[in-house]
């Protein structure tokens, strides 16, 4: 998909979602921010805005144009992980904001993930960050950060908007002694349910406590999807899919291969899209079965 077509998709979809796109004004020559890690290990300090900086609201087109064209002024931090994701500071002369750059693109016939887990046809690719963002728009979700494809240091890369206003990771939330589910537990549990369905749909093999980020308004942001979009057509953990957000479910049922192919361009292969649609079918069957058994009001919900 061309850059302009991608921008057009973001404008239409983000406009429908109504999600604000935030950036920070500042000078790219300033000292590095307080952020000390890749987005996947960011903490409550992980904000790209300088203290007291004004955060103008950007349209989706403005945000995507910035990620595609702004100059990379400095590397703030390189992660210690396998993917070597790095936080960079970008500027177009008027706007300064941080982004995450990932250029990992590994393919192995067999990979030992850890002593207890291995994977055949293993892939770890920047492409899947972009695909996850584009798919989230099709599904009406507004909690996967914008990610675009861009050549950085002569390598095709995913350049992803660095999240503003991060409060904590999921691991930190679990450690809270008071109100671990925030001021609105029903809403928090709803976001966790959305994540479980989304991860089954994309067959995400690497959801962990460090790539689940909570903003100060208790929205769950799902980040880092480089080990998703596998070719398996079966659900990995169907028992974790108990409920689904109502509009998400409706849009998921509407997905079709030609639509996904048009939106993804070269980001996903034909086989990866076919597997995605097969998992969608399995999810719809599972959720409709739960609705028949327990009632729609017990299974479908709306995030308030």
Would you state the pLDDT for residue 193?
98
CA of 187: how far to CAs of 118, 215, 269, 301, in Å?
35, 13, 35, 10
d(CA 43, CA 37): 8
Is residue 59 within 8 Å of 101, Cβ to Cβ? no
Residues contacting residue 248 through CB under 8 Å, at least 6 positions apart: 139, 140, 141, 194, 197
d(CA 78, CA 214): 22
Would you state the pLDDT for residue 45?
30
Is residue 248 within 8 Å of 112, Cβ to Cβ? no
- Domain boundaries, given as residue ranges, for the chain: 3-301
Would you state the pLDDT for residue 83?
75
Q: How many CB atoms lie within 10 A of CB 68?
A: 15
| This prediction's pTM | 0.84
Would you state the pLDDT for residue 55?
65
Burial of 158 (0-12, 13-18, 19+ CB in 10 A): buried
Per-residue pLDDT of the chain (304 residues; tens, 9 = 90+): 443 334 334 433 344 333 434 333 333 223 222 222 344 333 333 334 444 455 668 999 999 999 999 999 999 998 866 778 999 999 999 999 999 999 999 999 998 888 888 888 899 999 999 999 999 999 999 999 999 999 999 999 999 999 989 999 999 999 999 999 999 999 999 999 999 999 999 999 999 999 999 999 999 999 999 999 999 999 999 999 999 999 999 999 999 999 999 999 999 999 999 999 999 999 999 999 999 999 999 999 999 8
Residues contacting residue 176 through CB under 8 Å, at least 6 positions apart: none
Short-list 35, 150, 165, CA closest to 89: 35
């Amino acid at each position: 998909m061309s850059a302009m077509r991608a921008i057009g998709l973001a404008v239409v979809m983000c406009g429908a979602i109504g999600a604000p796109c935030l950036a920070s004004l500042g000078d790219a020559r300033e000292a590095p921010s307080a952020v000390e890690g890749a987005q996947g290990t960011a903490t409550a300090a992980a904000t790209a805005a300088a203290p007291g900086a004004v955060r103008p609201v950007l349209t989706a087109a403005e945000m995507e144009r910035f990620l595609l064209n702004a100059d990379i002024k400095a590397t703030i931090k390189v992660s210690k992980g396998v993917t070597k994701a790095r936080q960079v500071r970008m500027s177009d002369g008027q706007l300064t904001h941080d982004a995450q750059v990932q250029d990992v693109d590994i393919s192995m016939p067999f990979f030992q993930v850890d002593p207890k887990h291995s994977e055949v046809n293993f892939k770890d690719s920047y492409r899947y960050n972009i695909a996850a963002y584009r798919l989230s728009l099709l599904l009406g979700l507004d909690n996967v950060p914008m990610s675009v494809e861009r050549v950085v240091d002569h390598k095709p890369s995913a350049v992803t908007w660095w999240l503003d206003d991060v409060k904590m990771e999921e691991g930190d939330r679990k450690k809270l002694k008071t109100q671990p589910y925030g001021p609105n537990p029903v809403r928090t549990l709803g976001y966790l349910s959305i994540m479980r369905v989304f991860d089954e749909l994309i067959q995400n093999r690497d959801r962990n406590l460090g790539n689940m980020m909570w903003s100060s308004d208790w929205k769950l942001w799902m980040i880092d999807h480089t080990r998703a979009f596998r070719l398996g057509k079966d659900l990995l953990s169907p028992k974790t899919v108990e409920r689904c957000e109502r509009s998400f479910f409706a849009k998921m049922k509407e997905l079709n291969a030609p639509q996904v192919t048009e939106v993804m361009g070269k980001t996903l292969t034909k086989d990866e899209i076919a597997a995605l649609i097969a998992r969608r079918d399995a999810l719809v069957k599972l959720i409709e079965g739960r609705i028949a058994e327990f009632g729609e009001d017990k299974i479908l919900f709306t995030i308030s």
